Structure 1
Amino acid sequence: MLGNLVLVACFLGSSFAADPPTAHINGATITGVNNGTVSQFLGIPYASPPNGDRRFRRPEPLEIFSDRDAKVYGPGCPAQAVKFPGTFAGSTNISTLTNEIPEFHNSKFPMDEDCLTINIMRPVSAGPQNSYPVVVWIYGGAFETGDTQSYDGLGIRIIQRSAALGTPVIFVSMNYRNSAFGFLGGQQVYDEEVGNLGLWDQRVALRWVKKHISAFGGNSSKVMIWGESAGSISVALQMIGPDNGANTENLFQAAFMQSGTVVPVGDIRDAQKHYDFLVNATGCDIPKTDTLGCLRGLPYQTLKDAVDKSQSFTSYESLNLAWVPRADGLFLKGDPQKLARDGLVAKIPFVAGCMVDEGTFFAVSTRNITTEAQFRTYIHENFVAKAPIGELDQLWTLYPSNVSEGSPFNTSIFNAATPQFKRMAAFQGDVVFQAPTRFFLQSLSGRQKAWSYLSRRFKSIPFFGSFHGSDLLLNTLDDYVIRFAVNHDPNNGTGVVWPQYTKASPRRYTFPPTGSPTIELDTQRAAQMAYLTNLSLTYPI
């Protein structure tokens, strides 16, 4: 008899443990799914589908008032096709590396314009009785690609690791519009006030988090936004936002940026040539036609095919991107670098850092540039076309053709796939990642608490070194992300102390190729960084 009671108790216990997780918002029950020790609520819409006449318009918030299953991811937003070559420098198999990093390969998951959904992960034991810190992940992909499902493993490991550390967090991710669907520019976009739609998507999702995350066990007053690459840049731009850094909505209280801060972009009307390309490629260039209205009325596949033909980070133009956030007078009231210089950034604690060889992967598409003349012409026409060529003499000196001074840095004459490859990698990594990050940190020094890092992990990878995105592969920063979300400090009282960054003492946490972190000064290539910063402030890309 006693044995039977034990069996019944065990059966009931396992049954209760297997019950799907639920949350309640607006009187509706949201039913998720358990995945081992993690409960997931997936594919919850936070805005109306941005298709039909809502295409190229700001997101319309959507509330749920009826019961809903949230057990599978929604489709990703339309992503631009990635066209990396399979091999490089004769025999190096790029796909071996790119397949591990979502932003470097085409999504393996469905895409659709009806994509504005949000996902929540929590420990299986969590519920509305808890009030855990919240980590909001914003994916990268050069503002051209990306989806939340590709980072399912990231969310799970953050939840599991946070629980193992005894400091559980809630993990949130949102889909936002990519490529032309989210970052169309041009005069027509400016006139209709529909620029930076991907940033507005993120903003609406963050408002949803503030309103509803407590129902899932999260603390809406302890939200950290976290991103990598375009996601990291998005974090910085959300810190500026439509209120010029006043943080009036109090949507987040901390930020963690991996490889990207305020990029040197100009006015949204400067993107007219990219708008015109789409109009011409889709047949919407008929005189006296409402071209933006025509683009809204196109069949999805027609528009998607045209977007796939536009320049991208894998094409010859590389990091001179077509579809990026730009100053539109609304979400971004000016050049984000100048706004940061003026301190118009949310005064919250943050972490910002880079890989040492950020530019190597982005130099692959320019491997046919092999001479001094070609390099100079490319840099001038592609990155600083508004600058008189005579003003760039110092650039050629600061970024010489000597392969020993290029990236991967500190690898002597090795890894020179072409005579200009390492030079191109050094320039692109500095102009888009390293120099803006240093400028961001120094501009905000004394205004708020800040920490910085540099990673040299993976330094031995041929041609690419410590390449962009490899920190996600190695889980290098997971513990620090969790600590910062919980304590707004990356330290835990043991090991090497990570000091705050100040302009007077720009110390940063450094991950060597192997071994424990060290502390060094953020002073490398000082002349190059200062020159590029001044150049981008005068002639934004």
Structure 2
Amino acid sequence: MLASTLCLLAVLVSAVLAAPLAPRAAPTVQLDQGTFIGATDGTLNKFLGIPFGKAPVGDLRFNLPVAVDPYNGTHTVTSFGPSCPQQAVNFNFPSQLEADAVNYIINSIYQIVFPAQEDCLNLNVIVPAGTKPNANLPVVARDWYAFIPGVTDRMTLIIAQLSASWPARKSKKPEWAISGCKIVSAQLTTPWKAVEIDIAYLTSPIERLALRWIQKYISAFGGDPTKVTMCMGRERGAISVALHLITNGGNSEGLFRGAFMQSGSPIPVGDITHGQADYDTLVSETGCSGAADTLQCLRQVPYDKLKKAVDASPGIFSPNSLRLTWLPRVDGKFLTDTPQNLVQQGSVANVPFVTGDCDDEGTLFSLSTLNITTEEELRSYVTSNYLPQAENKNVDQLFTLYPADITQGSPFDTGVLNALTPQYKRLAAMQGDLVFQAPRRYFLQHRSDKQSTWSFLSKRLKGLPDLGSAHATDILNIFGGGELADYLINFANNLDPNGNTVPSWPKYSASSPKLLTFTDDVVHPVTLTNDDYRVDAIDYITQLSLQFPI
């Protein structure tokens, strides 16, 4: 009897599952005189590829972005728009790199690349299904681009959409889904939902334009323009957030009320003239050397020819490493001084922010220099690539503070392991501190007593061969259902990462610089540590970056 009942139940369930679902009405939103038709899966409404800026082609190429004209007509926005052009990835894996490290780089960082074209100033709005205009939901604006060429902000969105049916980790919280820094959550301790803005762009002035678009239009989707959190990914996205915090004399213009950064702080870059040689090379390779106005000539170069020339310039996996070819630099407009000088001057938006790094940020970026095996070769490289104007005594002191002892190099706390060359761990320590750890600590030391700040350190995946807790290993703490997702939900909602589903995270202060530290320890996966590692070395590398910015 039981078997028959179960069989009948199975048939009935199969019949129900096989029955066609009633078609869902497509969500629509009115912007100006335009009607935008999106898509829904019953949980999320998605409006994809909405243009917010005019195509940066012709005279608008290499110029400040221009907002689109007021919308009119009917637009179907159910597919992602194109990504903005980025430099092609050119990476030759060193023969000694272990398979697990190669797999991590390929499958965790460079997984999906979307079609790109110049007409790329579009954004995606994703909102819980059923949300009405003026619902006043908090808004998270995110950018997952990186200065690493070939990375697309869409990758995380696709991965996250697959998570919509993931079960909650804790009984206190129902099902949730995250998209990059977009959170769609039924509730924590109280009902909470959010609107996500997913933006495709490359430069901070364009991001500023997108933030203005949010102020103008987001209420039509149900978002609250007064509750915008910038949550712009790792590295380049996080650095871009930091630049928004320090531009315009620290005046946020009401465009955002908080910021959440992973592996990025005000980067130690110098004047725009530091990129002159690379610009001259680009001009030469595109045939513009003889032009009276080389910039205007570049605006007219065919896209394919320009893209080829950019791809030929040194990338992040060239020996230049973190001295990137196309860094944001002081331009007199968006950045009126070096980022760290602006921090020192107090040119910082007075909003709460979260910022943190992985423990071994420099390992990934040191794989392209494994030909450096002696101290003399390392000295020559550091001097020519990062400190061409420094004196010998400066380099001497730097090398003293970052000794040749491989047990003190990065991946940190791994003893004699992971020494791909005698100088690999040493250089990885220097580069990780120069671009990531030192700017983060400098930023917090200057701002934590003036505004609410929190900081974290991810030491997870320390056992990853050759790389350790490398750049971007904290992604799993967001997308894999880790604690950082809960902290992010809380922060976007309350401007405080704390909540009853996660361990307490104290504010960072200069007198008590506490880091929420994520570890591989299954018993104590989250701990509090002091931000006092490599104090002398990081203080000195900060001094050098102030004196000799990249």
* TM-score, structure 1 as length reference: 0.90
Confirm whether residue 538 of structure 1 aligns to residue 542 of structure 2: no
Q: Distance in 2 between matches of 1:495 and 1:141?
A: 29
Q: Secondary structure of 1:244's match?
A: helix
Specify which of 509, 517, 526 is matched with residue 517 of structure 1: 526
5 Å-filtered alignment, 1:141-540, equals 141-142=146-147, 144-153=149-158, 156=161, 157-158=177-178, 162-163=185-186, 165=188, 166-177=191-202, 198-227=203-232, 228-241=234-247, 243-247=248-252, 249-286=253-290, 289-475=292-478, 476=482, 477-515=484-522, 516-540=525-549
Q: Distance in 2 between matches of 1:510 and 1:79?
A: 33
5 Å-filtered alignment, 1:27-106, equals 27-35=33-41, 37-62=43-68, 63-86=70-93, 88-89=95-96, 91-92=98-99, 94-102=101-109, 104=110
Q: Read off the aligned partner of 1:517 and give its amino acid letter.
A: V
Q: Distance in 2 between matches of 1:76 and 1:245?
A: 30
Q: Read off the aligned partner of 1:509 and give its amino acid letter.
A: L
**Displacement of 1:30:** 1.0
Q: Distance in 1 between matches of 2:303 and 2:502?
A: 53
- Contact 1:144-1:323 at 8 Å conserved across structures: no
**Range 90-99 or range 72-81, more displaced:** 90-99
**Displacement of 1:93:** 5.3
**Range 122-131 or range 459-468, more displaced:** 122-131
- Contact 2:184-2:194 at 8 Å conserved across structures: no
- Residues 353 and 123 of structure 1: CA distance in aligned 2, closer, same or farther (over 3 Å): same
Q: Read off the aligned partner of 1:267 and give its amino acid letter.
A: D
Q: Distance in 2 between matches of 1:438 and 1:518?
A: 19
Which residue in 2 is equivalent to 1:9?
none
Q: Which runs of 5+ in 1 are unaligned?
A: 1-12, 178-197
Which residue in 2 is equivalent to 1:195?
none
- Residues 74 and 494 of structure 1: CA distance in aligned 2, closer, same or farther (over 3 Å): closer
- Contact 2:113-2:151 at 8 Å conserved across structures: no
Q: Read off the aligned partner of 2:289 and give its amino acid letter.
A: D
Q: Secondary structure of 2:354's match?
A: strand
**Range 295-304 or range 86-95, more displaced:** 86-95
Q: Distance in 2 between matches of 1:470 and 1:88?
A: 22
Q: Distance in 2 between matches of 1:519 and 1:152?
A: 31
Q: Read off the aligned partner of 2:114 and give its amino acid letter.
A: F
Q: Distance in 2 between matches of 1:313 and 1:143?
A: 6
Q: Distance in 2 between matches of 1:100 and 1:341?
A: 39
Which residue in 2 is equivalent to 1:109?
114
Which residue in 1 is equivalent to 2:17?
none
Q: Secondary structure of 1:344's match?
A: coil
**Displacement of 1:162:** 2.3
Which residue in 2 is equivalent to 1:194?
none
- Contact 2:363-2:410 at 8 Å conserved across structures: yes
- Residues 434 and 28 of structure 1: CA distance in aligned 2, closer, same or farther (over 3 Å): same
- Residues 447 and 88 of structure 1: CA distance in aligned 2, closer, same or farther (over 3 Å): farther
**Displacement of 1:126:** 1.8
Q: Distance in 1 between matches of 2:209 and 2:97?
A: 46
- Contact 2:406-2:422 at 8 Å conserved across structures: yes
Q: Read off the aligned partner of 2:199 and give its amino acid letter.
A: M
Q: Secondary structure of 1:30's match?
A: strand
Q: Deviations over 1:1-47 (max 9, x none)?
A: xxxxxxxxxxxx9647x111111110321111114522111000000
Which residue in 1 is equivalent to 2:141?
136
**Displacement of 1:146:** 3.5
Q: Distance in 1 between matches of 2:148 and 2:52?
A: 20
**Displacement of 1:129:** 4.6
* TM-score, structure 2 as length reference: 0.88
Which residue in 1 is equivalent to 2:15?
none
Which residue in 2 is equivalent to 1:8?
none
Q: Read off the aligned partner of 1:536 and give its amino acid letter.
A: S
Specify which of 21, 31, 55 is matched with residue 25 of structure 1: 31
Q: Read off the aligned partner of 1:46 and give its amino acid letter.
A: F
Q: Deviations over 1:388-414 (max 9, x none)?
A: 223221101111111111111000000
Over the matched positions of the two proteins, sequence identity in percent amounts to: 42
**Displacement of 1:442:** 0.5
Q: Distance in 2 between matches of 1:219 and 1:109?
A: 30
Q: Secondary structure of 1:99's match?
A: helix
**Range 134-143 or range 270-279, more displaced:** 134-143
Q: Which runs of 5+ in 2 are unaligned?
A: 1-19, 162-176
Q: Read off the aligned partner of 1:250 and give its amino acid letter.
A: G
- Residues 452 and 154 of structure 1: CA distance in aligned 2, closer, same or farther (over 3 Å): farther
